[in-house]
Amino acid sequence: MSTIAFIGLGHMGGPMAGNLVKAGHKVSAFDLSQPSKDAAAALGVGIAGSAKEAVADAEIVVTMLPAGKHVLGVWTDILPAVKPGTLLIDSSTIDVESARKAHALAAERGCLSLDAPVSGGVGGAQGATLTFMVGGSADAFKRGEPILSAMGKKVVHCGDAGNGQAAKICNNMILGISMIGVSEAFVLAEKLGLSHQALFDVASTSSGQCWSLTTYCPVPGPVPTSPANNDYKPGFASALMLKDLKLAQEAAQAAGASTPLGSAAAQVYGLHNAWGEGGTDFSGIIHLLRGRGNS
Ligand code: NAD
C-alpha cells in the first residue's frame, strides 16, 4: 500500500484515482472543480483542501491535467511541499518540451519523475484498462510501474524523459491520418456504388486493415460497437484529436521532422471542429469529407 496524491480529477483522473483506492492505496486528491471532487469522493478518494495539502505525506504524486501550462503550474506549486525522494508521475497529454521541463523541476527538488500519458479514453480509465507510455529513468520506472499497473493493463517504458509524450503524439498522428484515410475510402465507395459492408469485408482482411477501420469504423453497421452506431458519441472527441495533432506538429517543427500528412490531418480536424463538431467522436470526420449537408 502506498500513500498517493492525485491532482486533476476530471473525466480521466477521477476514475483513475478511484482505481488506486480499489487497489488498496491511500489516496489524497485535489481539483479546482467541486463537481470533480464530489465525483471522486464518491469513489472513496480522500479530498484535500489544496494541492499542497494533498501532496504533503505522499510517496507518489500523480497529475492528470489539461495541458503543459497546467502541469508546470501545479508542479511548481507543489514541489516545495513534496518530500525529496517522492516520485512524480504526469499522465496528462502535453507537449514534449513542457514534459522535459517538468522532469527538470522534479530533479531540482531531488525527486524522481515520469511522463506517462495514456491511451484508452474514459472507458479505459474507468475499467483500469489504459495503456501507459512512459518516459523517465529506469529507477523511476521501476517504482512507478506497479502504481500504473493498478490503473491500466499495459505499461510500456519508452525511454528517457519526454519519450512517453513522444510515443503518444506519434501514435495519435497515425490515428488521425488513418481515420481520414478510411473515411475517404468509404466516401469514394459510396460514389462508386460499393456497399459499406463489402468495402469493410475486403479492407478489414486486406492491406487496408487498421484500427480506424476495424474498431472505430466511421460508418454504422460493419462494427456494431463503433461510435458511428451511436450518433458518433461518446468515443474520442474530435477536440482531443486536434489537440494531439497540434502537439505532434509543434514537436515536428521543433525537431525538424517532415510530417506533411500529420499537418494536413490537423487542418482537416481544425475545419471539422470549427463546424461545432469538437465534442463528437473523431470518426465523424466522414461528414466533412462527404460535404456538409450530405451526411
Ligand atoms: P478534464 O478537463 O475532464 O479534467 C481536467 C481536470 O483538471 C479538471 O477537473 C480541472 O478542474 C482540473 N484542473 C485544471 N487545472 C487544475 C489545477 N491547477 N489544479 C487542480 N486541478 C486542475 O480532462 P480529461 O478528459 O480528464 O483529460 C485529462 C488529460 O488526459 C488531458 O491532458 C487529455 O488530453 C488526456 N487524455 C484524455 C482522454 C479522454 O478521452 N478524455 C484520453 C487520453 C488522454
For residue 5, the tally of other CB atoms under 10 A from its CB is 30
Angle, helices 260-272/238-255, rounded to nearest 10 degrees? 150
Per-residue pLDDT at 123: 87
In this prediction, residue 295 has a pLDDT band, given cuts at 50, 70 and 90, of: low
Q: Judge whether 154 counts as a catalytic residue.
A: no
- The model's pLDDT over 31-67, given as tens digits with 9 standing for 90+, comes to 999 999 999 999 999 999 999 999 999 999 999 999 9
3-state DSSP call for residue 289?
Answer: helix
Q: Spell out the alpha helix ranges (H) of the chain.
A: 13-22, 34-41, 51-55, 68-78, 96-108, 121-127, 138-149, 163-192, 196-203, 211-214, 238-255, 260-272, 285-290
User: What pTM was estimated for this model as a whole?
Assistant: 0.94
How far is ligand 1, taken at its centre, from the CA of residue 1, in Å? 26
* CB contact at 8 A, 218 and 226: yes
Ligand 1, atom 20, lies closest to the CA of 31
HEC readout, 179-222 = HHHHHHHHHHHHHHCCCHHHHHHHHCCCCCCCHHHHCCCCCCCC
How far apart are the CA of 93 and the centre of ligand 1, in A?
9
Strands 112-115, 46-47: pairing kind = unpaired
Of 180, 164, 159, nearest to 241 by C-alpha is 180
Closest CA to 212 of 247, 268, 172, 252: 172
For residue 154, give the C-alpha cell. 499495459
Task: Name the grid cell of 50.
Answer: 489544496
Query: Cα of 195 to ligand 1 centre, how many Å?
Result: 40
Q: Is the pLDDT of residue 234 over 80?
A: no
Residues with CB under 6 A from ligand 1: 7-13, 30-33, 36, 51, 64-66, 70, 73-74, 92-93, 118, 121-122, 236, 240, 243
In the chain, what are the domains?
3-160 (3.40.50.720), 166-290 (1.10.1040.10)
Mutational pocket test of ligand 1: of 32, 282, 283, the residue with most ligand atoms within 8 Å of the beta carbon: 32
| Distance from Cα 91 to the centre of ligand 1, integer Å | 10
Q: Which of 37, 52, 101, 168 is catalytic?
A: 168
Contact partners, residue 182, CB within 8 Å, separation at least 6: 203, 208, 210, 212, 213, 217, 218
Compute the mean pLDDT over every residue in the chain, rounded to the nearest whole number.
97
Q: Which atom of ligand 1 is nearest to the CA of 119?
A: 43
Q: What pLDDT is stored for residue 92 in this prediction? A: 98
| pLDDT value, residue 293 | 61
Cell of 211: 484500427
How confident is the model over 67-99, as pLDDT tens digits?
A: 999 999 999 999 999 999 999 999 999 999 999
Is residue 102 over pLDDT 80?
A: yes
Q: In a mutational test of the pocket of ligand 1, which residue from 28, 31, 96, 118 has the highest number of ligand atoms less than 8 Å from its CB? A: 31
- Give the pLDDT band (50/70/90) at residue 294: low
From residue 202, give the alpha-carbon distance in Å to each of 9, 69, 70, 143, 261: 43, 45, 45, 46, 25
Q: What is the grid cell recorded at 93?
A: 497529454
User: How large a percentage of the chain has pLDDT more than 90?
Assistant: 96
| 113 phi and psi angles, rounded to 5 deg | -150, 155
